[in-house]
Structure 1
Amino acid sequence: MQIKKGFFLHEIGKETIVMHDGSDNINFCNVISLNPTAAFLWRQIEGRAFTSEELIGLLTEHYEVDEDTARRDTEAFITSLRKAGLLAEE
Protein backbone atom coordinates (compact mmCIF):
# COMPACT_ATOMS: atom_id res chain seq x y z
CA MET A 1 0.00 0.00 0.00
CA GLN A 2 1.01 3.61 -0.34
CA ILE A 3 -0.35 7.11 0.06
CA LYS A 4 -2.22 8.21 -3.07
CA LYS A 5 -0.37 10.61 -5.31
CA GLY A 6 -1.22 14.27 -4.97
CA PHE A 7 -1.56 14.36 -1.19
CA PHE A 8 1.02 16.07 0.99
CA LEU A 9 1.53 17.43 4.49
CA HIS A 10 1.24 21.11 5.26
CA GLU A 11 2.22 22.80 8.52
CA ILE A 12 -0.06 25.55 9.81
CA GLY A 13 1.30 26.80 13.11
CA LYS A 14 1.59 23.73 15.30
CA GLU A 15 -0.92 21.74 13.23
CA THR A 16 -0.02 19.25 10.51
CA ILE A 17 -2.76 18.72 7.94
CA VAL A 18 -3.12 16.67 4.76
CA MET A 19 -3.74 18.64 1.60
CA HIS A 20 -4.27 17.77 -2.05
CA ASP A 21 -2.27 19.36 -4.85
CA GLY A 22 -5.45 20.16 -6.80
CA SER A 23 -4.58 18.00 -9.81
CA ASP A 24 -7.85 16.07 -9.51
CA ASN A 25 -11.35 17.30 -8.88
CA ILE A 26 -11.59 16.15 -5.28
CA ASN A 27 -14.28 17.08 -2.80
CA PHE A 28 -12.10 17.64 0.23
CA CYS A 29 -14.76 18.87 2.66
CA ASN A 30 -12.97 17.78 5.80
CA VAL A 31 -9.50 18.86 6.80
CA ILE A 32 -7.46 15.89 7.94
CA SER A 33 -5.24 16.76 10.86
CA LEU A 34 -2.41 14.46 11.93
CA ASN A 35 -0.95 14.15 15.40
CA PRO A 36 2.87 14.23 15.66
CA THR A 37 3.18 10.43 15.52
CA ALA A 38 0.99 10.13 12.42
CA ALA A 39 2.89 13.00 10.77
CA PHE A 40 6.18 11.21 11.54
CA LEU A 41 4.89 8.02 9.89
CA TRP A 42 3.58 9.95 6.87
CA ARG A 43 6.98 11.58 6.32
CA GLN A 44 8.72 8.20 6.48
CA ILE A 45 6.48 6.58 3.86
CA GLU A 46 5.60 9.50 1.60
CA GLY A 47 6.09 8.64 -2.07
CA ARG A 48 6.73 4.92 -1.66
CA ALA A 49 5.06 1.62 -0.86
CA PHE A 50 5.06 0.39 2.72
CA THR A 51 3.81 -2.45 4.90
CA SER A 52 2.22 -2.40 8.32
CA GLU A 53 5.24 -4.32 9.65
CA GLU A 54 7.51 -1.53 8.45
CA LEU A 55 5.39 1.05 10.29
CA ILE A 56 5.53 -1.02 13.46
CA GLY A 57 9.32 -1.08 13.18
CA LEU A 58 9.47 2.68 12.69
CA LEU A 59 7.37 3.26 15.79
CA THR A 60 9.33 0.89 18.02
CA GLU A 61 12.65 2.38 16.89
CA HIS A 62 11.69 6.05 17.03
CA TYR A 63 9.37 6.13 20.05
CA GLU A 64 10.68 3.17 22.04
CA VAL A 65 7.22 1.66 22.50
CA ASP A 66 6.54 -2.05 22.76
CA GLU A 67 5.48 -3.98 19.68
CA ASP A 68 1.85 -4.45 20.79
CA THR A 69 1.38 -0.70 21.26
CA ALA A 70 3.08 0.00 17.92
CA ARG A 71 0.84 -2.56 16.20
CA ARG A 72 -2.34 -0.97 17.62
CA ASP A 73 -1.15 2.51 16.63
CA THR A 74 -0.19 1.30 13.15
CA GLU A 75 -3.60 -0.31 12.64
CA ALA A 76 -5.32 2.91 13.75
CA PHE A 77 -3.15 4.99 11.39
CA ILE A 78 -3.81 2.74 8.39
CA THR A 79 -7.54 2.61 9.18
CA SER A 80 -7.67 6.41 9.33
CA LEU A 81 -5.88 6.75 6.00
CA ARG A 82 -8.16 4.15 4.43
CA LYS A 83 -11.36 5.82 5.72
CA ALA A 84 -10.17 9.19 4.40
CA GLY A 85 -9.51 7.65 0.96
CA LEU A 86 -5.78 8.41 1.12
CA LEU A 87 -4.43 4.90 0.50
CA ALA A 88 -3.70 3.23 -2.80
CA GLU A 89 -3.74 -0.51 -2.21
CA GLU A 90 -2.61 -3.14 -4.64
Structure 2
Amino acid sequence: MKIGDIYKVREVAGENLIVEQGKSQADMTKVISLNSTALLLWKELQGADFSLEDAAHVLMNHYGIPKEQALIDAQKWIDALSRCGIIE
Protein backbone atom coordinates (compact mmCIF):
# COMPACT_ATOMS: atom_id res chain seq x y z
CA MET A 1 0.00 0.00 0.00
CA LYS A 2 1.05 3.61 -0.42
CA ILE A 3 -0.04 7.09 0.62
CA GLY A 4 -1.47 8.83 -2.44
CA ASP A 5 0.99 11.24 -4.04
CA ILE A 6 -1.59 14.03 -4.20
CA TYR A 7 -1.85 14.24 -0.40
CA LYS A 8 0.45 16.35 1.75
CA VAL A 9 0.50 17.37 5.40
CA ARG A 10 0.40 21.06 6.19
CA GLU A 11 0.48 22.76 9.57
CA VAL A 12 -2.50 25.08 9.91
CA ALA A 13 -3.16 26.93 13.16
CA GLY A 14 -1.05 24.42 15.11
CA GLU A 15 -2.79 21.37 13.61
CA ASN A 16 -1.23 18.92 11.14
CA LEU A 17 -3.82 18.56 8.38
CA ILE A 18 -3.87 16.35 5.31
CA VAL A 19 -4.56 18.39 2.20
CA GLU A 20 -5.08 17.37 -1.40
CA GLN A 21 -2.59 19.12 -3.68
CA GLY A 22 -3.94 20.88 -6.73
CA LYS A 23 -7.34 21.76 -5.30
CA SER A 24 -8.14 25.46 -5.52
CA GLN A 25 -10.55 25.19 -2.59
CA ALA A 26 -10.38 22.93 0.44
CA ASP A 27 -13.35 20.70 1.20
CA MET A 28 -13.72 21.49 4.88
CA THR A 29 -16.12 18.57 5.36
CA LYS A 30 -13.16 16.23 4.90
CA VAL A 31 -10.54 17.75 7.18
CA ILE A 32 -8.18 15.12 8.58
CA SER A 33 -5.97 16.10 11.49
CA LEU A 34 -2.99 13.96 12.49
CA ASN A 35 -1.83 13.51 16.07
CA SER A 36 1.90 13.12 16.74
CA THR A 37 1.88 9.34 16.26
CA ALA A 38 -0.07 9.50 13.00
CA LEU A 39 2.28 12.25 11.79
CA LEU A 40 5.31 10.08 12.64
CA LEU A 41 3.91 7.23 10.55
CA TRP A 42 3.10 9.63 7.71
CA LYS A 43 6.61 11.10 7.67
CA GLU A 44 8.30 7.70 7.83
CA LEU A 45 6.15 5.99 5.20
CA GLN A 46 5.17 8.72 2.71
CA GLY A 47 6.44 8.04 -0.78
CA ALA A 48 7.14 4.36 -0.12
CA ASP A 49 5.25 1.14 -0.62
CA PHE A 50 4.69 -0.23 2.86
CA SER A 51 2.95 -3.02 4.71
CA LEU A 52 1.21 -3.25 8.06
CA GLU A 53 4.42 -4.74 9.43
CA ASP A 54 6.46 -1.76 8.16
CA ALA A 55 4.16 0.66 9.97
CA ALA A 56 4.29 -1.46 13.12
CA HIS A 57 8.10 -1.46 13.03
CA VAL A 58 8.10 2.35 12.95
CA LEU A 59 6.02 2.36 16.12
CA MET A 60 8.09 -0.33 17.84
CA ASN A 61 11.35 1.46 17.04
CA HIS A 62 10.11 4.89 18.08
CA TYR A 63 8.04 4.02 21.15
CA GLY A 64 9.51 0.68 22.23
CA ILE A 65 6.09 -0.96 22.36
CA PRO A 66 5.41 -4.70 21.91
CA LYS A 67 4.79 -5.97 18.38
CA GLU A 68 1.19 -6.95 19.15
CA GLN A 69 0.30 -3.40 20.25
CA ALA A 70 2.21 -1.86 17.36
CA LEU A 71 0.27 -4.00 14.86
CA ILE A 72 -3.06 -2.94 16.40
CA ASP A 73 -2.12 0.75 16.37
CA ALA A 74 -0.70 0.61 12.84
CA GLN A 75 -3.86 -1.11 11.58
CA LYS A 76 -6.02 1.65 13.08
CA TRP A 77 -3.91 4.28 11.25
CA ILE A 78 -4.11 2.37 7.97
CA ASP A 79 -7.86 1.81 8.32
CA ALA A 80 -8.54 5.48 9.02
CA LEU A 81 -6.57 6.70 6.01
CA SER A 82 -7.95 3.94 3.77
CA ARG A 83 -11.54 4.92 4.60
CA CYS A 84 -10.71 8.43 3.39
CA GLY A 85 -9.13 7.15 0.18
CA ILE A 86 -5.68 8.47 1.11
CA ILE A 87 -3.93 5.09 1.10
CA GLU A 88 -3.92 3.28 -2.23
The reply to whether TM is greater than 0.5 is yes
What SS does the corresponding residue of 2:49 show, helix, strand or coil? coil
Q: Between Structure 1 and Structure 2, which shows a larger proportion of strand residues?
A: 1
Q: Which runs of 4+ in 1 moved over 4 A?
A: none
In the other structure, the counterpart of 2:8 is: 8
| Structure 1 unaligned blocks of 5 or more | none
1:30-51 deviations in Å (ceiling 9; x for gaps): 1000110000000011111111
In the other structure, the counterpart of 2:44 is: 44
Give 1:28 shift.
6.2
Q: Distance in 1 between matches of 2:55 and 2:28?
A: 26
In the other structure, the counterpart of 2:68 is: 68
Identity of aligned residues (%): 29
Give 1:86 shift.
0.4
In the other structure, the counterpart of 2:59 is: 59
Q: Between Structure 1 and Structure 2, which shows a larger proportion of helix residues?
A: 2
Please report the RMSD computed on the Cα atoms of aligned residues, expressed in angstroms. Answer: 2.1
Larger relative contact order (Cα-Cα within 8 Å, sequence gap ≥ 6): 1
Measured at CA, do residues 2 and 53 of structure 1 come closer, stay the same or move farther in structure 2, by a change above 3 Å? same
Q: Count residues with an aligned counterpart.
A: 88
TM-score for the superposition, normalised by structure 1: 0.87
Give 1:12 shift.
2.0
